């Protein structure tokens, strides 16, 4: 019976984007694809913000009844905004790698180390880490334009990448 080679002796895979299967490398998402996905994610919030603005307008009315309705609408609108943000940008994207905007443009957020979605907790940490992208005149947001892996500072910190990958 032949001995099996030690798995620790195998060479490590070459650097580059993770494979989409069958050894075919998946390209990193371009800056414009990332911006497009983000803008679509923001557009999803527009109906909830309309409710906020209508409520704020009614809340400034002289009529006490309209003011009460306006305050309730404003509160409901803000709950909808934050609920949609948390569900889409943290929970959904953390579990699947796709926010709604990313799914529409065909890009996916994954861990560079595992090739799997980050999870809701790390996706939330990544969202907070985007603060670093805004320091130094928003340079971190532009970094994917010339970076080999097209990562922002937050992506580098969390070892995440955004790949071109359509949802099946």
Per DSSP, what are the bridge partners of residue 28?
163
* Residue 144: count of CB within 10 angstroms of its CB: 22
Is the pLDDT assigned to residue 92 strictly greater than 80?
yes
Q: What is the pLDDT of residues 5-63, one digit of tens each?
A: 554 444 444 455 555 454 556 799 999 999 999 999 999 999 999 999 999 999 888 88
Rounded to 10°, the helix 46-59/64-85 angle is 160
Q: Is 23 left (phi over 0), alpha (psi -120 to 50) or beta?
A: left
Whether the model pTM is above 0.85: no
pLDDT at 19: 54
Q: Is 66 left (phi over 0), alpha (psi -120 to 50) or beta?
A: alpha
Q: What is the pLDDT of residues 59-85, one digit of tens each?
A: 888 888 889 999 999 999 999 999 999
Both tokens assigned to 17: 């984007």
Rounded-to-10 torsion of CA 97, 42, 39, 159: -30
pLDDT at 18: 57
């Amino acid at each position: 019976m032949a001995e099996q080679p030690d798995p620790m002796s195998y060479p490590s895979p070459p650097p580059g984007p993770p494979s989409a299967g069958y050894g075919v490398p998946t390209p990193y998402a371009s800056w414009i694809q990332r911006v497009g996905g983000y803008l679509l994610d923001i557009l999803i919030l527009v109906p909830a913000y309309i409710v906020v603005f209508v409520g704020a307008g009614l809340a400034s009315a002289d009529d006490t009844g309209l003011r009460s309705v306006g305050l309730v609408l404003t509160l409901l609108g803000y709950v909808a905004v934050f609920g949609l943000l948390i569900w889409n940008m943290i929970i959904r994207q953390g579990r699947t790698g796709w926010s709604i905007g990313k799914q529409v443009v065909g890009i996916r957020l994954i861990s560079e180390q595992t090739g799997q979605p980050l999870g809701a907790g790390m996706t939330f940490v990544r969202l907070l880490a985007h603060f670093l992208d805004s320091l130094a005149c928003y340079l971190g947001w532009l970094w994917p334009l010339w970076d080999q892996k097209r990562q922002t500072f937050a992506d580098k910190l969390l070892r995440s990448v955004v790949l071109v990958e359509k949802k099946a």
